[in-house]
Amino acid sequence: MTMDPTVREVVENAQPRHLPPHRSHDPSNNLKRSDPFMFGSRYLEEGDNVFEFNAWDHVEPDDEFKAYAETQFAKQRETPVSEFDMKRFNGDPAKWWDLFYKNNTANFFKDRKWLRQEFPVLADVTQTDAGRQVVLEVGAGAGNTAFPLLANNQNDQLMVHACDFSKYAVKVMRESEQYDPTHMVADVWDVAGEPSEENGDSLPPGLTEESVDVVILIFIFSALNPDQWNKAMRNIYRVLKPGGQILFRDYGRGDLAQVRFKKNRYMGENFYARGDGTRVYFFDQDQLVNMWSQWTPEKGLPDDDEPRTGDGVFDVLHMGADRRLIVNRQSKLKMYRCWMQGHFRKHGGDVAAVSTTEKSE
């Protein structure tokens, strides 16, 4: 990976905060040294050599790195994208994702073997006796979530709707050897669409109001313009059954990917255009809790300046930051990554059906 020399210097110097000894690993269950390891178990402690392993969990960047990030953000704001590019990138976002999938193979995003561990609900719906389960993956891309889910499926009544607004992404999924039409359907669908003559009822093809058990949102909300979140949440709310669940994972604020953005990429606070024209937003944990706990079909999203108190239509069952220090052992480079992970539930329905085996942070 190429890296700006200043970023390099800072990440090399940023020392991870040492965790208190009570989080020390147990030698009888020495996960950080096991293979395969469990995510979330590789604690960096006093006396550990940070370059002994490739990655450490729960490592907060230190103050020096945070200060560096703030100076980067200030520079980014001073040199935003041009008006011309802003219109191009926001005007037809599917076009840029089409180009992305034309230029990259289906292997661009790696298969997620960690999915069932992070989201136990996905293990539940694939059990032999789980009964009819409808899963909708939004912004499914090349199928890197849908395919591993199906590879482990024991439930002959499972149906996965993998939707993306890029027709090339849908083509990649449909042409995959792993595409099994008895359990999966890949369709073009814009999650931020509104009912119209062209969009019909704006729900995914083949799905009706309140027909979905689980909605998967993995790195899709970050691809939307913040002014599209409300429309996307409305469609998700409409398609979910009462009691239906939402599994969310996305970029976290201060992630190295955000700090590294240079000139002419800033489109708004925490919102950028990548070099290939695709857009990316970086979320804060409290912001996501507010969004998902307070959204209502009538009032939409809460106003940042005037937060409402919990009258929303979703419960936030879990919201956490997944922080990792990724280490390049050869070049002695440290990189701080941050992702947000959430589990939400639409009000109503059979609450007992919700998996309670949530991973704790």
Ligand X SMILES: C[S@@+](CC[C@H](N)C(=O)[O-])C[C@H]1O[C@@H](n2cnc3c(N)ncnc32)[C@H](O)[C@@H]1O
CB of 243 to ligand X, least distance (A): 24
Q: Least separation, in Å, of the C-beta of 137 and ligand X?
A: 7
For residue 139, state whether it binds ligand X (rule: CB under 6 A).
yes
- The residue from 16, 40, 61, 141 that contacts ligand X (CB under 6 A) is 141
- Using the rule CB under 6 A, which residue among 135, 160, 212, 220 binds ligand X? 220
Among 81, 140, 207, 240, binds ligand X (CB under 6 A): 140
Q: Which of residues 255-284 bind ligand X (CB under 6 A)?
A: none
Q: Which two tokens stand for residue 349?
A: 């329905």
Which range touches ligand X (CB under 6 A), out of 1-9, 32-40, 190-198, 308-316?
A: 190-198
Q: Name which of residues 109 to 138 contact ligand X (CB under 6 A).
A: 109, 138
- Look-up of token digits 């990189």: 335
What are the φ and ψ backbone dihedral angles of 51, each rounded to 5 degrees?
A: -90, 10
Nearest CB to ligand X, comparing residues 156 and 194: 194
Name residue, tokens 């002695």: 332
39 or 219: CB nearest ligand X: 219
Q: Does 187 bind ligand X (CB under 6 A)?
A: no
Residue 144 found at the interface with ligand X (CB under 6 A):
yes
Whose Cβ is closer to ligand X: residue 134's or residue 138's?
Answer: 138
The partner residues of 158 in beta bridges, in order of sequence, read: 133
User: Which of 166, 245, 290, 293 is the binder for ligand X (CB under 6 A)?
Assistant: 166
Binding positions for ligand X, 278-337, rule CB under 6 A: none
Is the distance from CB of 243 to CB of 351 less than 8 angstroms?
Answer: yes
Residue among 48, 124, 190, 315 that touches ligand X (CB under 6 A): 190
The distance of closest approach from Cβ of residue 223 to ligand X in the complex, given in angstroms and rounded to an integer, is 4
Q: Choose the stretch contacting ligand X; rule: CB under 6 A; options: 49-57, 161-169, 204-212, 237-245.
A: 161-169
Q: Is residue 219 near ligand X by the rule CB under 6 A?
A: yes
Which positions lie near ligand X, rule CB under 6 A? 93, 97, 109, 138-141, 144, 164-166, 169, 190-192, 218-220, 223-224
